[in-house]
Structure 1
Amino acid sequence: MKRSGFDSQLKMLNNICLTERESSESYQKVLSKVNKVKKRKNIGDILGRPITGIATMLVLVVAGLFLNDLVNFSINQPGDQTPSLADEDNSIVEEKRNACMDSNVELSASSILVYFECQGFEEPSPPSKAVLREVKSGEKVESRIEYAVKQLIRGPSKEEIKEGFISIFNEETADSLHSIELQDSGHLIVDFVDFSKIIPNGSTSASSFAMMETLNKTVSQFAEVETIEYRFDGSCSGFFGWIERICTTYEADDYRDLEENTKKFLLEKSEVLFNQLMAKQWEEFANNINIERGLVYSPYSNVGDSDDLHFSKEEVRRFAEDQKLYSWSWDQSEAEFKATPNDFVENLLKKRYNYTYKYDEITYNDSKAGTMINTIHDIYPNAIYVEYLDEPDRESLEWGYYQAIRFVYEEIDNEWYLVAIVRGAHNP
Structure 2
Amino acid sequence: MILQGITLAVSVLLVGSNMNTSVFTETNSYELFTEIKSMLSKKGEKINNLHQDKLTLSRANVLSENQAKKVISKTSREAITAIKNKDMKRFKTLVHPDKGVRFSPYTYVDFKEDIVFSANQLEKLPRLKKVYNWGAWDGSGDPIKLTFNEYYRTFIYDRDYANAEKVSYNKVLMKGNTINNIREVYPNSIIVEYYFSGSSQYEGMDWSSLRLVYEKKDSQWYLVGVVHDQWTI
TM-score under structure 1 normalisation?
0.37
Unaligned regions of 5+ residues in structure 2, if any?
Answer: 1-41
2:133, 2:145 within 8 Å by CA — same for their partners in 1? yes
Shift of 1:369: 1.1
Shift of 1:265: 3.2
2:194, 2:210 within 8 Å by CA — same for their partners in 1? yes
Q: Is residue 2:125 matched to residue 1:323?
A: no
Give me the whole-angstrom Cα distance separating, in 2, the residues matched to 1:403 and 1:259: 20
Match among 75, 80, 83 for residue 277 of structure 1: 83
Consecutive aligned runs of 4 or more in structure 1 exceeding 6 Å deviation: none
Residues 310-336 of structure 1: CA distance to partner in whole angstroms, max 9, x if unpaired?
A: 111111122232221223461221344
1:277, 1:345 within 8 Å by CA — same for their partners in 2? no
Shift of 1:423: 1.3
Q: Which amino acid aligns with 2:58?
A: F
Q: Which amino acid aligns with 1:363?
A: S
What's the secondary structure of 1:121's corresponding residue?
A: helix
1:297, 1:420 within 8 Å by CA — same for their partners in 2? yes
Which is greater in Rg?
1
Shift of 1:396: 3.0
What's the secondary structure of 2:204's corresponding residue?
A: helix
Shift of 1:285: 0.3
Q: Which amino acid aligns with 1:397?
A: Y
Match among 149, 173, 186 for residue 368 of structure 1: 173
Give me the whole-angstrom Cα distance separating, in 2, the residues matched to 1:296 and 1:360: 25
Task: Provide closer, same or farther for how the CA distance between residues 292 and 337 of structure 1 changes in structure 2, counting only shifts above 3 A.
Answer: same
Task: Provide closer, same or farther for how the CA distance between residues 423 and 348 of structure 1 changes in structure 2, counting only shifts above 3 A.
Answer: closer
1:392, 1:402 within 8 Å by CA — same for their partners in 2? yes
Give me the whole-angstrom Cα distance separating, in 2, the residues matched to 1:293 and 1:305: 12
Aligned partner of 1:10 in structure 2 is none
Give me the whole-angstrom Cα distance separating, in 1, the residues matched to 2:61 and 2:70: 19
Residues 41-79 of structure 1: CA distance to partner in whole angstroms, max 9, x if unpaired?
A: xxxxxxxxxxxxxxxxxxxxxxxxxxxxxxxxxxxxxxx
Shift of 1:274: 0.9
Shift of 1:305: 4.8
1:290, 1:417 within 8 Å by CA — same for their partners in 2? yes
Q: Which amino acid aligns with 1:345?
A: Y
Aligned partner of 1:419 in structure 2 is 224
Unaligned regions of 5+ residues in structure 1, if any?
Answer: 1-85, 102-119, 129-256
Q: Is residue 2:178 matched to residue 1:346?
A: no
Aligned-residue sequence identity (percent) comes to 26
2:139, 2:232 within 8 Å by CA — same for their partners in 1? no
What's the secondary structure of 1:283's corresponding residue?
A: helix
1:280, 1:342 within 8 Å by CA — same for their partners in 2? no
Match among 62, 84, 94 for residue 288 of structure 1: 94
What's the secondary structure of 2:180's corresponding residue?
A: coil
2:109, 2:182 within 8 Å by CA — same for their partners in 1? yes
Shift of 1:304: 2.9
Aligned partner of 2:214 in structure 1 is 409
- Where does 1:14-33 land on structure 2 (aligned, <5 Å)? none
Match among 71, 74, 77 for residue 268 of structure 1: 74
Shift of 1:306: 4.8
The count of corresponding residues between Structure 1 and Structure 2 is 184
Aligned partner of 2:115 in structure 1 is 309
Aligned partner of 2:7 in structure 1 is none
Match among 189, 198, 201 for residue 396 of structure 1: 201
Shift of 1:419: 0.8
Give me the whole-angstrom Cα distance separating, in 2, the residues matched to 1:307 and 1:391: 29
Shift of 1:370: 2.1
Q: Which amino acid aligns with 2:164?
A: Y
Q: Which amino acid aligns with 2:215?
A: E
1:323, 1:340 within 8 Å by CA — same for their partners in 2? yes
Give me the whole-angstrom Cα distance separating, in 2, the residues matched to 1:386 and 1:258: 12
Give me the whole-angstrom Cα distance separating, in 2, the residues matched to 1:332 and 1:391: 22
Aligned partner of 2:37 in structure 1 is none
Give me the whole-angstrom Cα distance separating, in 2, the residues matched to 1:348 and 1:381: 23
1:280, 1:345 within 8 Å by CA — same for their partners in 2? no
Task: Provide closer, same or farther for how the CA distance between residues 302 and 347 of structure 1 changes in structure 2, counting only shifts above 3 A.
Answer: closer
Pairwise CA RMSD:
3.5
